[in-house]
């Protein structure tokens, strides 16, 4: 039993020590912090600007009452705006990262081979070389 437990603990340590798991953990933490920024951007900057046109400071206050049920569709609209902001930022990040990788790959790529000479070009080069050789002997 103790052997299985230590094997389990060792396997868990190996799993946690992998780079992918640590990267994912950092991503989750940074994503949580970024969510607060996106929420603030939506609530404190975008919504007041939209509020100028729809005469509401916040969509969170928008609701419909049907009988005793209150449907707060404004919260849903605000959540959609938060999602769109997050999706746009992630899209821009991925686009930038892909561009960086593409440029890096292009820089590492081998230069293209020079094009093959046509028969006429090869003959002209041979004539040129013969003329140079004759000039040296003269």
**Token pair of 55, please?**
């005469």
Q: Residue 68: its pLDDT value, please?
A: 92
Q: Residue 95: its pLDDT value, please?
A: 93
Percent of the chain whose pLDDT exceeds 70: 96
Instruction: Indicate whether 76 pLDDT > 80.
Output: yes
Q: Residue 18: its pLDDT value, please?
A: 72
User: Phi-psi bin for 93: left (phi > 0), alpha (psi -120 to 50), beta?
Assistant: alpha
Q: Residue 106: its pLDDT value, please?
A: 81
Provide φ and ψ at 48, rounded to 5°. -60, -35
> DSSP labels for 28-83?
HHHHHHHHHHHHHIIIIIIHHHHHHHHS-S-GGG--EEETTEEE-HHHHHHHHHHH
Comparing 13-22, 37-46, 86-95, which segment has the lowest mean pLDDT?
A: 13-22
- Which sequence spans correspond to the domains of the chain? 2-137
The CATH number corresponding to 2-137 among 1.10.1200.120, 3.40.50.2300, 1.10.238.10, 3.10.100.10 equals 1.10.1200.120
What mean pLDDT do residues 94-121 have?
A: 84
**Token pair of 19, please?**
């780079």
CA–CA distance, 80 with 86 (Å, rounded to integer): 10
Q: Residue 7: its pLDDT value, please?
A: 86
The model's pTM: 0.54
Q: Which of 53, 46, 51 is nearest to 61 (CA)?
A: 51
What is the chain's mean pLDDT, rounded?
83
Instruction: Indicate whether 56 pLDDT > 80.
Output: no
Q: Residue 8: its pLDDT value, please?
A: 86
**Using an 8 Å Cβ cutoff, are 62 and 74 in contact?**
yes
């Amino acid at each position: 039993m103790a052997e299985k437990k230590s094997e389990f603990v060792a396997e868990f340590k190996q799993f946690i020590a992998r780079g992918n798991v640590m990267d994912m953990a950092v991503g989750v933490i940074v994503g949580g912090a970024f969510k607060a920024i996106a929420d603030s951007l939506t609530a404190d900057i975008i919504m007041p600007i939209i509020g100028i046109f729809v005469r509401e400071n916040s969509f969170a206050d928008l609701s419909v009452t049907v009988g005793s049920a209150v449907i707060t569709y404004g919260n849903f609209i605000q959540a959609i705006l938060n999602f769109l902001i997050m999706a746009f930022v992630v899209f821009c990040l991925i686009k930038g990262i892909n561009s960086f990788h593409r440029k890096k790959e292009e820089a590492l790529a081998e230069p293209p081979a020079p094009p093959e000479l046509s028969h006429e070009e090869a003959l002209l080069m041979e004539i040129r070389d013969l003329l140079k050789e004759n000039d040296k002997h003269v």
